[in-house]
Amino acid sequence: MEVTMDPLFLAWSYFRRRKLQQCSDICAKILQDNPYDQAAWSLKTRALTEMVYIDEVEVDQEGIAEMMLDESTIAQVARPGTSLRLPGTSQGGGPTPAVRPMTQSGRPITGFVRPSTQSGRPGTMEQAIKTPRTASTARPVTSASGRFIRLGTTLFEYIFHHENDVKNALDLAAQATEHAQFKDWWWKVQLGKCYYRLGLYREAEKQFRSALNHQEVVDTYLYLAKVYQRLDQPITALNLFKQGLDHFPSEVTLLTGIARIHEEMNNISSATEYYKDVLKQDNTHVEAIACIGSNHFYTDQPEIALRFYRRLLQMGVYNCQLYNNLGLCCFYAQQYDMTLSSFERALALVGNDEEQADVWYNIGHVAVGIGDLTLAYQCFKLALAFNNDHAEAYNNLAVLELRKGRIEQIGDLQSSYTAAQKSEDSFPEHVDTQQLLKQLRQHFSVL
């Protein structure tokens, strides 16, 4: 006797196993026979939504339109320590890093790549066009609640995420909120998400605040903090996170949010303390381990940083960036036998030309450290071959050109000056390049 599985049950099984396309196909066949089957409609919309779902809690990058048409700015020059766009100098009582790389927006390079720290605010239209938008998130994908059982909620998620039709999603959320007599916190959160997508941050703030008055939920705190970060009000966001910790003590996502804001404001010592609190609750938190390791490296403690990166390796993290960091830590910790092998593995795992350029740049930096200037020159040239906008490689090439011959040789000076100018074009705020250009201009005036 042949036994066949119920199609809807089979579709649900595929959904639970994350085989979303098969789930959608079976639901489509069910709907051909019965177009009014609400269970099939609900499951199909959920499957299609999960294919493109992005955690809205993560702070996304500001594009050129948001930067140029920002109507929420109150003052052109914010007070030090109160803005994410002008993070200022390092704060705190801990040791100050001697040289910590900065992004083109002036933020310190973090130990973990997030959407908000990929490349900062683009300065020109050309940079904005070249800046990729990322769909990956540092937080795992979460479901905001267990209310997906209703067709209305799944329909909203389908319209909002899959169709990206924010206007119709807003209309649906508004009608649902009115139908619930303005007492349903979940629909108010969805209204806030729609307003945020439309750039109506104050309206989004009101909806998230109202939702918190009805129900204390961790995700709502994260959404509201995201609004304040977009409004460039990091102090308000910090106070909100601490308010959330009063209701949800030791919540990892709230502690991580506080640490990120401190890190983006260049308050590295406070960020490190909060990342340590995160590790007390979750000792496998990749972002916290990476950021603490990065901080130890830039405070001249490569041996301690090496422990954290090895911990990531033991956890199964296996990528180009990790081996690149391991190579640098081994070099500065004088473990030379592991330095080149780490960079070899990093080169074997590169995923794009920018990663390739960064690895060759770091190998060139190691070559400078051991005194092999010929190898360093070749490595910096290779870095520029893969990324023609690599400002640091141009800067170091200019220094090598300056060292090649005596200072009186005008040809070396001209080569150095050309490389330094290219570095300035790629990264105008690069401090080392400005100092080098000043030095070269002094030499030209003497000659």
pLDDT in tens, 193-243: 999 999 999 999 999 999 999 999 999 999 999 999 999 999 999 999 999
Distance CA 48, CA 241 (A): 33
Instruction: List 287's β-bridge partners, or say none.
Output: none
Q: Which of 156-165, 173-182, 276-285, 404-413 has the lowest mean pLDDT?
A: 404-413
Distance CA 203, CA 237 (A): 17
Confidence at 25, pLDDT banded by 50, 70, 90: very high
Q: Which residue has the higher pLDDT, 174 or 431?
A: 174
Q: Which of 43-47, 152-156, 281-285, 406-410 has the lowest mean pLDDT?
A: 406-410
At 137 the pLDDT is 33
For residue 446, report the phi and psi dihedrals to the nearest 5 degrees.
Answer: -70, -40
For the cut 90, the answer to whether the pLDDT of residue 328 exceeds it is yes
Of 356, 441, 359, 362, whose CA–CA distance to 398 is shortest? 441
At 437 the pLDDT is 59
Query: What sign has the CA pseudo-torsion 393, 62, 65, 353?
Result: positive
Helix (H, G, I), strand (E, B) or coil at 102: strand
Instruction: Walk me through the domains of the chain, giving residue ranges and CATH numbers.
Output: 1-53+148-164 (1.25.40), 368-447 (1.25.40.10)
Query: What sign has the CA pseudo-torsion 326, 332, 336, 340?
Result: positive
Amino acid sitting at position 309: Y
For the cut 90, the answer to whether the pLDDT of residue 67 exceeds it is no
Residue 198 DSSP symbol: T
Confidence at 414, pLDDT banded by 50, 70, 90: low
At 23 the pLDDT is 94
Provide the CB-side half-sphere exposure for 218 (13 A, CA). Answer: 15
Q: Which residue has the higher pLDDT, 381 or 108?
A: 381
Q: Give me the mean pLDDT over the 377-396 stretch.
A: 87
Distance CA 254, CA 243 (A): 10
Cβ neighbours of residue 72 under 8 Å, at least 6 residues apart? 201, 202, 230, 231, 232
For residue 246, report the phi and psi dihedrals to the nearest 5 degrees.
Answer: -65, -35
Q: Which residue has the higher pLDDT, 91 or 289?
A: 289
Asked if 333 contacts 303 with a C-beta cutoff of 8 angstroms, the reply is yes
At 111 the pLDDT is 74
For the cut 80, the answer to whether the pLDDT of residue 192 exceeds it is yes
Q: Which residue has the higher pLDDT, 57 or 410?
A: 57
Q: Give me the mean pLDDT over the 21-49 stretch.
A: 91
Distance CA 302, CA 3 (A): 63
Q: What is the pLDDT of residues 301-327, one digit of tens each?
A: 999 999 999 999 999 999 999 999 999
Q: What percentage of the chain exceeds 90 in pLDDT?
A: 52
Q: Give me the mean pLDDT over the 24-43 stretch.
A: 91
At 162 the pLDDT is 87
At 446 the pLDDT is 42
At 187 the pLDDT is 95
Q: Give me the mean pLDDT over the 4-32 stretch.
A: 92
Q: Return the structure tokens found at 134.
A: 């990322």
Cα dist. 407→76, 187, 403 in Å? 44, 70, 8
Distance CA 51, CA 22 (A): 12
For the cut 80, the answer to whether the pLDDT of residue 49 exceeds it is yes
Distance CA 173, CA 5 (A): 36
Asked if 25 contacts 56 with a C-beta cutoff of 8 angstroms, the reply is no
At 135 the pLDDT is 34
At 394 the pLDDT is 81
Q: Which residue has the higher pLDDT, 106 or 170?
A: 170
Task: Share the mean pLDDT of the chain.
Answer: 80
At 443 the pLDDT is 52
For the cut 80, the answer to whether the pLDDT of residue 413 exceeds it is no
Of 261, 315, 217, whose CA–CA distance to 59 is shortest? 261
Q: Give me the mean pLDDT over the 47-62 stretch.
A: 76
At 133 the pLDDT is 36
Q: Give me the mean pLDDT over the 84-109 stretch.
A: 57
